[in-house]
Structure 1
Amino acid sequence: MDASSTSALIACAAIIAIPVIQRVERRISRIKAGDQAKFNHLTLSPIQFEHHCADVLRSLGWKCKTTRASGDFGVDLIAEHGGHRVVFQIKKWSKPVNLSAVQEAVAGVAIYGAHSACVISVSGYQQSAFKLAAANKVRLMSYQDLRRFNPPTSQGFLSRLRQKRPQ
């Protein structure tokens, strides 16, 4: 392949890649800005919502992966940053989340060797979930809280995560 063919190939690749990169950058900007006019998380299926939550965490600097839909021991996402692993249970229920989601998150800490667990809900929590979460140091969050789930840089966040991993 000569130099002009190589240049033409690179130009074609750039023409194709630039719009794709621009779309991804716009989506990340909307996620960071929480632009509900262009994006409504309520229209997503539960699985799509899990993937969207993973995208939000990635936009905040977390390495994040979703688990398979079944047999995941109740963990939907596993996020890591700076050597800290956090498991997430994502609930897109129409009613407040009960303590079963917290139980699954607690189990996920042991199964996936995480430092801590979070449950994300779009519809709030029952009192039993608050009680069990407090006893097990599980963080209960709204979808809006997720956008502020910063990488573990603050001392308060680090001290909460520095619990020993289960052996």
Structure 2
Amino acid sequence: MSGRSSLVARLFWTIVAGGAAALWFGQPALIATGAVLALILLHRIDRPRRFRRLVRRLAQRHARTLALRRRQECFVDAYGNLISDGWLRERAYFAERTILPHLAERGHAEDAERRWEEILSLVERVAASVRLPDETETPEDGVAYERYCAERLRAAGWDAHATQASGDQGADVVAEFGGIRLVVQCKRYGKPVGNAAVQEVAAAARYWSGDMAAVVSNAGFTPAARKLSAATGVLLLHHDDLAALRPVRASVRGRRETASS
């Protein structure tokens, strides 16, 4: 039943019930019926505001992650154009997988279909409202960026060190925490990182007997990189994610069995 049909049905049966009650109780029943009808109409009128509030609340639960993804997935190309395709996909994915199921549970499924663009706009506002650390503080030089990532991991409790440039087999940082070894490749890019980095760090994790592997970047990741990440267990992180990174055993698929012994 559509929202409008449901409203009409509620009004109709309220009037019917109220009319029947008025035959027995007179004016008090009519007054009560009028009050109920007013409440039903007010609830309906207030529905758009409740819809927006619910979407904002759901988005705010993930505000920092959304803000990070927004910054990662937007970049300026060689011609000076702002490219935000990756963020638009990420925003729609979040709305579809996180927002819509909750709206359906609250009886807003039809509203969500009609107000899809409004949902995206609300998510955009929440993501844009979060103040993130200044990206200009991040080292521009690749080697310095590797050391920067190692420092962020040490601050989070990892015993981390940058590897030597030669013989690292694709690992820029190796870190340990509670017996779990993490192998990291660091990419200070001006555009999304491709799946080659995922392949390289997955191979490096096997070489270093790593339990976890990650590509860390200031930029976002291509759809191909994200797909390969899901298949290999390689984490795709922004360097700000390192502060909350905790050890998880055997997240890299296809690594050496000796790593779990």
Normalising by structure 2, we get a TM-score of: 0.44
1:1-167 counterparts in 2 under 5 A?
36=133, 40-41=137-138, 43-150=139-246, 152=247, 157-158=248-249, 160=251, 165-167=256-258
CA distance in 1, matches of 2:196, 2:255: 24
Structure 1 residues 82 and 103: alpha-carbon distance in aligned structure 2, compared to 1, 3 A threshold: same
Query: Which one-letter code corresponds to 1:62 in the other structure?
Result: W
The structure that is strand-richer by fraction is: 1
Contact 1:89 1:118 in 2 (8 A): yes
Over the residues paired in the alignment, what is the CA RMSD in angstroms? 2.7
The answer as to whether partners of 2:205 and 2:255 remain within 8 angstroms in 1 is no
Offset at residue 160 of structure 1 (A): 4.1
Q: What is the alpha-carbon distance in structure 2 between the residues aligned to residue 113 and residue 105 of structure 1?
A: 12
1:166 Cα deviation from its structure 2 partner: 3.4
- Structure 1 CA distance, aligned partners of 2:154 and 2:172? 15
User: Equivalents in 2 of 1:102, 1:166: separation in Å?
Assistant: 20
Q: Aligned pairs, how many?
A: 128
Q: CA deviation at 1:145?
A: 1.1
Asked whether the 8 Å contact 2:174–2:181 carries over to 1, the reply is yes
* Whole-angstrom CA distance in 2 between matches of 1:158 and 1:115: 5
Letter in 1 for 2:239: Y
The answer to whether the Cα contact below 8 Å between 1:110 and 1:166 also exists between their aligned partners in 2 is: no
Runs of 5+ in structure 2 lacking a partner? 1-131
Identity of aligned residues (%): 36
Q: CA deviation at 1:87?
A: 0.2
Amino acid at match of 2:200: E
**Does structure 2 conserve the Cα–Cα contact (< 8 Å) formed by 1:109 and 1:115?**
yes
Contact conserved, 1:80 with 1:86, CA < 8 A, in 2? yes
State how far apart, in whole Å, the 2-side matches of 1:164 and 1:72 are.
17
Question: Partners of 1:92 and 1:57 in 2: how far apart?
Answer: 16
- After TM superposition, the runs of 4+ consecutive aligned structure 1 residues lying more than 3 A away are 157-161, 163-167
Q: Cα 1:126–1:115, aligned 2, differ >3 Å: closer, same or farther?
A: same
Displacement after TM superposition at 1:127 (Å)? 0.8
- Quote how far apart the aligned CAs of 1:165 are: 4.1
Q: Which runs of 5+ in 1 are unaligned?
A: 1-34
> Residue type matched to 1:146 in 2?
L
What per-residue deviation string (whole Å, max 9, x for no partner) do you get for residues 71-126 of structure 1? 31111000101110010010001110001100111101110011120111111001
The residue type paired with residue 137 of structure 2 is: N
Give, in angstroms, the shift of residue 129 of structure 1.
0.5
* Distance in 2 (alpha carbons) for counterparts of 1:111 and 1:158: 16
Structure with greater helix percent: 2
Tell me the SS of whatever aligns to 1:147: helix
